[in-house]
């Protein structure tokens, strides 16, 4: 074989190996039980390594529907694998970083997001560059939680003390559209896992505590419509 081809293949193999990151995790079984192992993130995909073969998994990036970052130490992987006992519902794999493992860094999460190439769920609200902000109440099926919406050129985030409802959405990846019926109401339609399917948007309804800036809203709608 041509020495140049062999050398080039070796370079790609080494670079791929160096790019891999290993996380020490606990796999929380559904509906009960748990096991500990290693989650390896690489250019090719994600692999869960564990002593028992029945818990070992290996996914290419294309085989993963989405990632849900629940906190800096907890996240789940949504796959296309059917669960027969749940009438074919797609299967989640829930992971928690072990105590001696560093929290899931922003760089690692963005590495996952970039390789996945699909919408993700990020429950850690972060403020990057902020062009506009408004105090709001996120309306739940029953009741709601209070916080602040932040809007920037790349991100929309909702910051609240109700941790499970905090969100950060990348505008060109996660957000489909925004809608407002009046100055004190705003809906954000995003691609996030729901009971129907991932290709149907989930609606986040907000009651605004101050009038919506209509000029900003009109420009935001225009940019989302044209994919900016």
Q: What is the pLDDT along the chain (228 residues), one digit of tens a residue?
A: 444 444 434 444 334 434 579 999 999 987 678 899 999 999 999 999 988 777 889 999 999 999 999 999 999 999 988 877 666 578 889 999 999 999 999 999 999 999 999 999 999 998 878 999 999 999 999 999 999 999 999 999 999 999 999 999 999 999 999 999 999 999 999 998 765 556 578 999 999 999 999 999 999 999 998 876
**Paired residues of 46 in beta bridges:** 41, 59
| Token output for 11 | 């370079």
**Paired residues of 188 in beta bridges:** 178, 204
Residue 61 CB-half CA count within 13 A: 15
Residues 6+ apart with CB under 8 A from 117: 61
The CA-based dihedral angle spanning residues 135, 161, 95, 199, taken in that order and rounded to the nearest 10 degrees: -20
Tell me the H-state helices in the chain.
3-19, 106-116, 214-225
- Rounded distance, CA 174 to CA 67, Å? 12
Residue 85's pLDDT is 64
**Paired residues of 157 in beta bridges:** 150, 168
Phi, psi of 196 (to 5 degrees): -90, -75
Residue 91's pLDDT is 85
Q: CATH 2.30.29.30 in the chain: give the residue spans.
A: 3-118, 132-225
Class of domain 132-225 as given by CATH = mainly beta
- Rounded distance, CA 144 to CA 183, Å? 19
- Side-by-side strand order, sheet with 74-83: 57-60, 45-49, 34-41, 21-28, 89-97, 74-83, 64-69, 121-122
Residue 201's pLDDT is 87
- Rounded distance, CA 8 to CA 147, Å? 52
| Token output for 99 | 């105590």
Q: What fold characterizes domain 3-118? A: PH-domain like (2.30.29)
């Amino acid at each position: 074989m041509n020495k140049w081809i062999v050398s080039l293949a070796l370079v790609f193999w080494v670079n791929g190996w160096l790019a891999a990151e290993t996380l020490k995790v606990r796999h929380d079984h559904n509906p009960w039980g748990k096991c500990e192992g290693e989650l390896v993130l690489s250019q090719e995909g994600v692999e869960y390594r564990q002593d028992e073969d029945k818990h070992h998994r290996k996914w290419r990036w294309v085989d993963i529907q989405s990632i849900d970052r629940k906190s800096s130490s907890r996240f789940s992987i949504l796959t296309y694998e059917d669960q027969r006992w749940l009438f074919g519902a797609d299967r989640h794999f829930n992971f928690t970083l072990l105590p001696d493992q560093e929290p899931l860094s922003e760089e690692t999460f963005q590495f996952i997001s970039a390789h996945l190439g699909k919408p993700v769920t990020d429950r850690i609200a972060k403020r990057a560059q902020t062009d506009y902000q408004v105090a709001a109440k996120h309306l739940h099926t029953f009741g709601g939680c209070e916080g602040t919406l932040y809007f920037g050129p790349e991100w929309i985030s909702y910051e609240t003390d109700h941790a499970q409802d905090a969100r950060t959405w990348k505008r060109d990846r996660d957000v489909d559209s925004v809608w407002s019926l009046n100055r004190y109401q705003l809906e954000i339609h995003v691609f996030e896992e729901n009971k129907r399917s991932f290709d149907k948007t989930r609606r986040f309804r907000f009651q605004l505590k101050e009038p919506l800036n209509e000029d900003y809203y009109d420009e935001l709608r225009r940019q989302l419509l044209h994919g900016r």
